[in-house]
């Protein structure tokens, strides 16, 4: 008796939650757009977009150069927390010359940069890096 009661209750629950395919997707020739419009009802966004053939508002994209200024990156964080101490550079120009080997070769002139200090020094968090 108890098993029969369980079977009847489960059958009742299963059939109580079903819908007919005709009710879900009627075959009366309506398109998906018609079904969507009927389901959307008086949705404000749908009404706004359907006015005057509007589909979407133009997107205001921010250029990459402007985005980089506001973006937090690991490099920006390190430069802010541990700025480099001033290390002046000596810029030298080497004039065109010839090698001192057995066969002299011409070397064109070039510029080179030499830092005054051999190693890069970093300030600790909170240290002043600018003059007084």
Residue 42 lies in a domain: no
Residue 75 lies in a domain: no
Range of the domain at 86: 81-120
H or E element at residue 107: strand 106-107
Residue 110 lies in a domain: yes
Cβ within 8 Å of residue 90, ≥6 positions away: 113, 114, 115, 116
- Give the pairing of strands 97-98 and 106-107: antiparallel
Residue 87 lies in a domain: yes
Joined tokens for residue 23:
């009710």
Residue 94 lies in a domain: yes
pLDDT tens by residue, 86-127: 888 889 999 999 998 888 899 999 999 888 888 888 888 777
Residue 46 lies in a domain: no
Residue 112 lies in a domain: yes
Q: What is the mean pLDDT of residues 8-32?
A: 74
The number of distinct structural domains making up the chain is 1
Residue position matching structure tokens 């120009």: 93
């Amino acid at each position: 008796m108890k098993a029969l009661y369980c079977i009847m209750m489960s059958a009742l629950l299963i059939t109580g939650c079903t819908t007919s395919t005709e009710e879900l997707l009627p075959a009366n020739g309506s398109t998906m757009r018609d079904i969507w419009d009927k389901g959307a009802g008086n949705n404000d966004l749908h009404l706004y977009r359907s006015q005057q053939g509007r589909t979407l508002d133009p997107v205001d994209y921010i250029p990459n150069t402007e985005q980089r200024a506001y973006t937090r990156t690991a490099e920006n964080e390190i430069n802010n927390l541990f700025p480099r101490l001033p290390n002046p550079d000596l810029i030298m120009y080497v004039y065109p010359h010839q090698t001192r080997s057995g066969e002299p070769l011409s070397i064109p002139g070039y510029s080179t940069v030499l830092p005054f200090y051999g190693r890069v020094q970093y300030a600790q968090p909170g240290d002043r890096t600018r003059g007084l």
